[in-house]
């Protein structure tokens, strides 16, 4: 039986690059959707927010003369491309999935509403939230916090290439130590960059825990859902 019954999975766009320098690595995408299907078969309801950094990041455009608002819209469009890729990959292995967009984009995806989201989850569809919050100046972290609260998720699962939250960057500092659990207040005081501050505050105020774990190891998502002690849980 699943430990978590309803989750929001947050993935970065860069994660989809795998070993590539740009775009989508089909092998990494296949690994991810196989893990998602695995937890759906346990009866877990899954929402996904995907970033767009493998294609375009709004902030990067500032250095190249892009207007911030236009750059952010370009980044949000990139999340739609990634969302469609995830939907297609899930459907190819027999898992129903639906793309919801924060703005009207038919026939690319359906316009988001909470009612539509909850109805899809009840029919065992994976719901993929795209186009961020629909507004510039907000990150996909904030979109994940917002959609997680709206879909009444039990936890945000932040899938990364690191197996949790550390005192420092473990890829740069060999003395860094990992937290099993940490409170929102402790993480803020220590200056740990888990999610951006807007998203972090929304999760804290709505009592929505964040579990940071290594998504790149096949089987880890299933372990998280079953309640095994991997990753780092951030909570009140």
pTM: 0.94
Average pLDDT over residues 74-89: 97
3-class DSSP state of 102:
coil
Would the pLDDT of 27 be above 80? Answer: yes
* Contact between residue 134 and residue 162 where contact means Cβ atoms under 8 Å apart: no
The proportion of the chain whose per-residue pLDDT surpasses 70, expressed as a percent, equals: 97
Q: What is the pLDDT of residues 91-112, one digit of tens each?
A: 999 999 999 999 999 999 999 9
Give the burial string for 127-138 (b: 16+ CB within 10 Å, else e). Answer: bbbbbbbbebeb
Question: What does the angle CA 91 – CA 95 – CA 101 come to, to the nearest 5 degrees?
Answer: 65
Of 100, 102, 86, 79, nearest in space to 40 by CA: 86
Fill in the DSSP letter of residue 141. Answer: H
Mean pLDDT (the chain, rounded):
94
Question: What pLDDT does residue 193 have?
Answer: 86
Residue 33 CA to residue 71 CA, distance in Å, equals 29
């Amino acid at each position: 039986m699943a430990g978590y019954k309803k989750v929001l999975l947050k993935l970065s766009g860069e994660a989809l690059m795998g070993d590539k320098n740009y775009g989508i690595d089909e092998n990494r995408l296949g690994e991810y959707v196989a893990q998602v299907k695995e937890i759906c078969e346990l009866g877990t309801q899954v929402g996904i927010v995907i970033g767009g950094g493998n294609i375009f990041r709004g902030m990067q455009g500032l250095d190249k003369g892009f207007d911030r608002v236009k750059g952010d819209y370009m980044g949000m469009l990139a999340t739609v491309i990634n969302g469609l890729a995830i939907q297609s990959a899930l459907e190819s292995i027999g898992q129903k999935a639906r793309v919801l967009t924060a703005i009207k984009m038919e026939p690319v995806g359906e316009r988001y509403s909470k009612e539509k989201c909850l109805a899809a989850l009840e029919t065992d569809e994976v719901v993929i939230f795209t186009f961020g919050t629909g507004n510039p100046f907000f990150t996909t972290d904030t979109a994940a916090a917002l959609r997680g609260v709206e879909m009444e998720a039990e936890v945000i699962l932040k899938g990364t290439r690191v197996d949790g939250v550390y005192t420092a960057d473990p890829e740069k500092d060999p003395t860094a130590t990992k937290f099993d659990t940490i409170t929102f207040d402790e993480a803020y005081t220590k200056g740990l960059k888990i999610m951006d501050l807007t998203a972090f505050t929304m999760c804290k105020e709505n009592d929505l825990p964040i579990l940071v774990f290594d998504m790149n190891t096949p089987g880890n998502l299933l372990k998280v859902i079953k309640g095994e002690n991997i990753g780092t849980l951030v909570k009140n």
